[in-house]
Amino acid sequence: MKALFTLFIATAWLTPSLAYAQASHHSVVHDTKTLPSEILGGERNYAIYLPPSYQTSQRSYPVLYLLHGGGDDQTGWVQFGEVQHIADKAIANGTATPMVIVMPDANTGRRGYFNDIRGGWNYEDFFFKEFIPYIEKNYRVKSDKRYRAVAGLSMGGGGSFMYALHHPEVFSSACPLSASTGPLNLDDAKRRYNRPRRNEPDVKVEPVADEKIDEYLQQHSALKLVENLPADDIKSVRWYIDCGDDDFLYEGNSLVHIAMRKREIPHEYRVRDGGHRWSYWRSALPTVLSFVSESFHQN
Amino acid sequence: MKALFTLFIATAWLTPSLAYAQASHHSVVHDTKTLPSEILGGERNYAIYLPPSYQTSQRSYPVLYLLHGGGDDQTGWVQFGEVQHIADKAIANGTATPMVIVMPDANTGRRGYFNDIRGGWNYEDFFFKEFIPYIEKNYRVKSDKRYRAVAGLSMGGGGSFMYALHHPEVFSSACPLSASTGPLNLDDAKRRYNRPRRNEPDVKVEPVADEKIDEYLQQHSALKLVENLPADDIKSVRWYIDCGDDDFLYEGNSLVHIAMRKREIPHEYRVRDGGHRWSYWRSALPTVLSFVSESFHQN
Amino acid sequence: MKALFTLFIATAWLTPSLAYAQASHHSVVHDTKTLPSEILGGERNYAIYLPPSYQTSQRSYPVLYLLHGGGDDQTGWVQFGEVQHIADKAIANGTATPMVIVMPDANTGRRGYFNDIRGGWNYEDFFFKEFIPYIEKNYRVKSDKRYRAVAGLSMGGGGSFMYALHHPEVFSSACPLSASTGPLNLDDAKRRYNRPRRNEPDVKVEPVADEKIDEYLQQHSALKLVENLPADDIKSVRWYIDCGDDDFLYEGNSLVHIAMRKREIPHEYRVRDGGHRWSYWRSALPTVLSFVSESFHQN
Amino acid sequence: MKALFTLFIATAWLTPSLAYAQASHHSVVHDTKTLPSEILGGERNYAIYLPPSYQTSQRSYPVLYLLHGGGDDQTGWVQFGEVQHIADKAIANGTATPMVIVMPDANTGRRGYFNDIRGGWNYEDFFFKEFIPYIEKNYRVKSDKRYRAVAGLSMGGGGSFMYALHHPEVFSSACPLSASTGPLNLDDAKRRYNRPRRNEPDVKVEPVADEKIDEYLQQHSALKLVENLPADDIKSVRWYIDCGDDDFLYEGNSLVHIAMRKREIPHEYRVRDGGHRWSYWRSALPTVLSFVSESFHQN
């Protein structure tokens, strides 16, 4: 009886965090957690979805990095994307496996997921050297390529392309939605990289030499990377690319599809009815969760 | 028996916040919470609906202010309106996004949502200067225009019209149901403002000068405001107006529809089968929740 | 055995029209039947829907006169309105009683359902003196007020208003959809009646004296008639009025609703989501069939 | 026994048209009807689908010309495409309006829907000068642009593109599925037009001058026509273009989508999961029927 008695006392000592565990058969979302970053200097926000079983179990989970678009922040997929409702439903249906979904903020300081062409702001370095390690240290997530996926919309679709193309050893699946695929050529790149940044319209930017722009372009255009990287590297990632027939980003995504077909890189490609809007991405998310689960599940 | 006894003690030690956590996968409704008001003098009641994920997650939510009609109080939408059942179902269906629903009492002291024509009772001031700030400080609700909506029935439909027309910078959507749209002209206004108040039938009211009545009318008639305010201000709010074909308030709502059409102010307008009754408003509520979610969702 | 033998021989003699009878458990639509008209001079077209049981039974049926809009002809409700599919379904569901649906052409010669203000073209006379009698003579339809209804869209909604207001002794129900309710006042009437006809844009029209216009207006404005006719006459017809919130004819229909309410004339009134288009009318038709069936059924 | 014998005789006397009447509440498909052609010399086959109400009613119907692919003939959509089952279901659902579906053979003599580059075989002339007129004379189909649509798969998708681009005055909608969009450039065209025909592999073809090939290419490449025809002509047709992500015809269809977007020509474009196969086209057909019905319905 002693042991049982102690158990009951223990129950009385429940800490608040334990309290969550009691309610643990439901998923948990935080929309504003923070981590320190030396690379970017200061605190960075992220949101996180923990699946229904996370609090009660002691297992580890696969992880999806889900990137927001320009103008949003880490709360976008939570508020507009209904990530909790959609992931809960997909997991309950069995169309997706329980996974942790991590949504970093790429709106603070500079907007975007890349290292800046002019240096001094290395978001991509932060993402791979600080953010992923932080998540893998602080949450019960698996840390093999197989168990990591990246997806995102618009600017975050561009991030999905770039992260998986630059680091095919990190992700098993990549799902760019309505992705900004980057400049299509040098002229386009010169125009874009030499204009003021969207969220710093008054800060004059230093012109960059054409040679450097071209070099940067080769590394930050999904089309160039798909055309030029070793095919086996690209093939080691499973691709799900989706861009609506009314989306203004139709051209880059159509050309990436053509380029992948010409290099015989397996990929799922969808053009559905719709434009560059949240209704499109909400309706894409269930398929994304199912698609990345196929890697996690190892069919 | 000792052990079991201890269990009960332990349960008793649970803090209130822990108690919520245990019930946390269900929505929570309080029908009588209070806040202090300097403006109205004394404690004011409100009811509140917290969506199913509110207790387990650490995200913030959009908020709907839902106003009761004359003769009811803050419990009306809870008891007669089935707000919990209907909101739970809409959120589970995905036709509404999880949101906090706040229902203030406008039945205590004086009845109604306006500053009194004779002064001394400034409910509208209370609402904007004390109530909204209190809610935004004490609950995890977002505090941008996009994430605030107002809806209400009858007298509360009038409140919805007036609050969103007086403060289009505060709300992204407004849904007046079977709204009392205010006096249609000066004679009508004189009759109304110079008779005893409904819930103080024995208190003789001081007659008010015609000029002042007209001035007040211009600010408290939905029709006048829709005809005279800058169209861009009115258009910055999304409107959903619904009044049954058997409702005694048919004229004001029909005329507001005509006035909005003439000024080309986008609005949804519905006349369904029914009168001034709860069955009508309960059947309106799912559409209201879906309509305000479209702003919160950013389609 | 002789009798049986004869039966079989008879089967062999089947005429083609009898052949239809064999297939008679399905409805039949003709989109271009004709009748002679002395009043209008020449052949007039009509379409007709005969319910599934029409060919096998020898009973008589109630009848709905269903009027097309300006620019269409008698085939409009057949092709765009899906009258066969919708009526078949409503009758199969039991939400409508089997009825004959008659769709006259008001597009040939002059467009419209009225006697011309300048004389010489008396479509309304044709409708009541030739068309209804022809239908009642040539089809098994009942010929009491109770068993006749009129409905229509736009110009045909105006026809529905006028026919039922001019002849409340003829119809038990009237269902104007997105109705053109006629000029709202004399100035409006002068503008409309003195401009060239839509389908004869090059024919100069003779100006008509204001007095005559006013007289004509009083007889051809739904609003004036609703305001001025004996209430009991108007009440002897059951009304179902429906006009979308995006319809350009919002004002007249809203004002008729107000006028009917002020005179306490029972009527169903709906404002649903939509504009002046076939998708609106197709979605209205099931309710119209159900509404007119309530008179035919005598609840 | 005598009586029974007589019954059989009687049945034998039924005329063919009477036979239809007996079966009249079901759709009727013929997979091999013929018409004479002076232009092509000899009899030509076609298949036809008559909707369920065709035999009992006397109305006229809109018409869809549905083109088979290379290697098939007029029976392809009947046998492999399940046109009867799918159209019956769509009409019963109300997602498609009753329509006649006509499927010509383009496999006899020469394969294909075009006038031959070397002359002497003018299938396109046959289609517009003999086939459409024959159908409109012999069946109750409407003969306005609004009521005609064209769709087809692969080679028949190419035919759909070409017929609607050459004759935008004839069709209200065009739905090329997995379309062969024609050569992308002169080299491609030279290769294709100077090789033996697929169904006459042993017949040596006469080389054609480059200039003539280019001229022919300009008229028979969907891409060139979309880039060069007056935009208003192309816009007068509603487009539904669908080609799977695994289809070998991905490039032409992607480039036509890009070209249409650049010229701001409204069009629906879909890339679904799948290749160049009947399962893809069967799953496309319900949407095609619904899409063309939107024109026939006049939403």
pLDDT digits (tens, 9 = 90+) for A244-280: 999 999 999 999 999 999 999 999 999 999 999 999 9
C199 pLDDT band, cuts 50/70/90, is confident
Answer yes or no: do A135 and A157 share one domain. yes
- The answer to the question of residue B15 being in a domain is no
A193 pLDDT band, cuts 50/70/90, is confident
Model pLDDT for residues A168-188, shown as the tens digit of each residue: 999 999 999 999 999 988 998
Answer yes or no: do D165 and D123 share one domain. yes
Domain housing D192:
185-219
Count of other CB atoms within 10 angstroms of residue A185? 12
What pLDDT is stored for residue C205 in this prediction? 82
Single-letter amino acid code for the residue at D170: V
Picking from B251, B255, B271, the nearest residue to C271 by CB comes out as: B271
What pLDDT is stored for residue B1 in this prediction? 36
CA nearest to A163, candidates A251, A213, A225, A99: A225
Measure CA B190 to chain center: 26
A202 pLDDT band, cuts 50/70/90, is confident
CA dihedral sign of residues C245, C251, C253, C259:
positive
A15 pLDDT band, cuts 50/70/90, is very low
Model pLDDT for residues B33-59, shown as the tens digit of each residue: 999 999 999 999 999 999 999 998 999
Answer yes or no: do A215 and A252 share one domain. no
Mean pLDDT, range C240-264, rounded to an integer: 98
A204 pLDDT band, cuts 50/70/90, is confident
What pLDDT is stored for residue D206 in this prediction? 83
Cβ neighbours of A30 in B, within 8 Å: 57-59
Query: How large a percentage of chain A has pLDDT more than 70?
Result: 92
Mean pLDDT, range A209-230, rounded to an integer: 95
What pLDDT is stored for residue A170 in this prediction? 98
Residue of C nearest to D25 (CA): C26
In a 13 Å sphere around the CA of B194, the CA atoms on its Cβ side amount to 13
What pLDDT is stored for residue A95 in this prediction? 97
Answer yes or no: do D173 and D260 share one domain. yes
Among D219, D242, D267, where does a domain finish? D219
Model pLDDT for residues C16-69, shown as the tens digit of each residue: 444 344 444 799 999 999 999 999 999 999 999 999 999 999 999 999 999 999
Model pLDDT for residues B52-83, shown as the tens digit of each residue: 999 989 999 999 999 999 999 999 999 999 99
Answer yes or no: do B94 and B206 share one domain. no
A283, with CB counted inside 10 A (0-12, 13-18, 19+), is middle
User: Do A278 and B297 lie within an 8 Å CB cutoff?
Assistant: yes
Taking 70 as the pLDDT cut, the residues of chain D under it are 1-24
DSSP 8-class letter at B15: -
User: Do A8 and B10 lie within an 8 Å CB cutoff?
Assistant: yes
Helix (H, G, I), strand (E, B) or coil at C21: helix
* Owner of token pair 């022809």: C134
A137 pLDDT band, cuts 50/70/90, is very high
Find the length of chain A: 299
Strands B28-37 and B42-50 come out as antiparallel
Mean pLDDT, range C244-261, rounded to an integer: 98
- The answer to the question of residue C15 being in a domain is no
B228 pLDDT band, cuts 50/70/90, is very high
CA R_g for chain C: 21
Residue of A nearest to B52 (CA): A26
- The answer to the question of residue C161 being in a domain is yes
Model pLDDT for residues A107-133, shown as the tens digit of each residue: 999 999 999 999 999 999 999 999 999
Instruction: Select the residue from D177, D184, D242, D245 to test the A interface by mutation, using most A Cβ atoms within 10 A.
Output: D245
Answer yes or no: do B140 and B252 share one domain. yes
- The answer to the question of residue C8 being in a domain is no
Residue of C nearest to B258 (CA): C251
Answer yes or no: do A79 and A200 share one domain. no
Query: Which domain CATH number covers B65?
Result: 3.40.50.1820
- The answer to the question of residue C139 being in a domain is yes
User: Do A22 and B17 lie within an 8 Å CB cutoff?
Assistant: no
User: Do A271 and D257 lie within an 8 Å CB cutoff?
Assistant: yes
What pLDDT is stored for residue A23 in this prediction? 41
Answer yes or no: do C72 and C116 share one domain. yes
User: Do A254 and D251 lie within an 8 Å CB cutoff?
Assistant: no
SS (H, E, C) C131-189: HHHHHHHHCCECCCHHHEEEEEECHHHHHHHHHHHHCCCCCCEEEEECCCCCCCCHHHH
The C-alpha of B241 sits at a distance from chain C's nearest C-alpha, in angstroms, of 10
What pLDDT is stored for residue A194 in this prediction? 87
What pLDDT is stored for residue B213 in this prediction? 94
CA nearest to C159, candidates C230, C69, C237, C249: C69
Cβ neighbours of C27 in D, within 8 Å: 53, 56
User: Do B57 and A277 lie within an 8 Å CB cutoff?
Assistant: no
What pLDDT is stored for residue B17 in this prediction? 39
Q: Quick one: which H or E segment has residue B176?
A: strand B173-177
Instruction: Select the residue from A181, A239, A254 to test the D interface by mutation, using most D Cβ atoms within 10 A.
Output: A254
Model pLDDT for residues B116-158, shown as the tens digit of each residue: 999 999 999 999 999 999 999 999 999 999 999 999 999 999 9
Answer yes or no: do B165 and B196 share one domain. no
Mean pLDDT, range C219-225, rounded to an integer: 96
Instruction: Select the residue from B59, B95, B148, B290 to test the A interface by mutation, using most A Cβ atoms within 10 A.
Output: B59
Answer yes or no: do C215 and C254 share one domain. no
User: Do D245 and A269 lie within an 8 Å CB cutoff?
Assistant: yes
Q: Rounded to an integer, what distance in angstroms lies between the CA atom of residue D126 and that of residue D131?
A: 6
Are there at least 3 beta-carbon pairs closer than 8 Å between D and B? no
User: Do C268 and B271 lie within an 8 Å CB cutoff?
Assistant: no
- The answer to the question of residue D8 being in a domain is no
Mean pLDDT, range A9-26, rounded to an integer: 45
Residue of C nearest to D3 (CA): C5
User: Do A282 and B297 lie within an 8 Å CB cutoff?
Assistant: yes
User: Do C257 and B271 lie within an 8 Å CB cutoff?
Assistant: yes
- The answer to the question of residue A274 being in a domain is yes
- List helix spans (H) across chain C: 2-12, 16-22, 76-79, 83-93, 123-125, 132-138, 155-166, 186-193, 210-220, 222-228, 231-235, 250-262, 278-297
Answer yes or no: do A31 and A144 share one domain. yes
Answer yes or no: do C133 and C200 share one domain. no
Picking from D250, D267, D270, the nearest residue to A258 by CB comes out as: D250
Picking from C1, C14, C30, the nearest residue to D59 by CB comes out as: C30
Mean pLDDT of all residues belonging to chain A = 91
User: Do D24 and C25 lie within an 8 Å CB cutoff?
Assistant: no
Contact partners, residue B109, CB within 8 Å, separation at least 6:
B40, B41, B42, B121
- The answer to the question of residue A146 being in a domain is yes
Q: State how far the alpha carbon of D110 is from the alpha carbons of A77, B54, D114, D116, D117, in Å.
A: 56, 70, 10, 9, 12
Count of domains in chain A?
Answer: 2
What pLDDT is stored for residue D205 in this prediction? 81
Cβ neighbours of B52 in A, within 8 Å: 26
User: Do D245 and A251 lie within an 8 Å CB cutoff?
Assistant: no
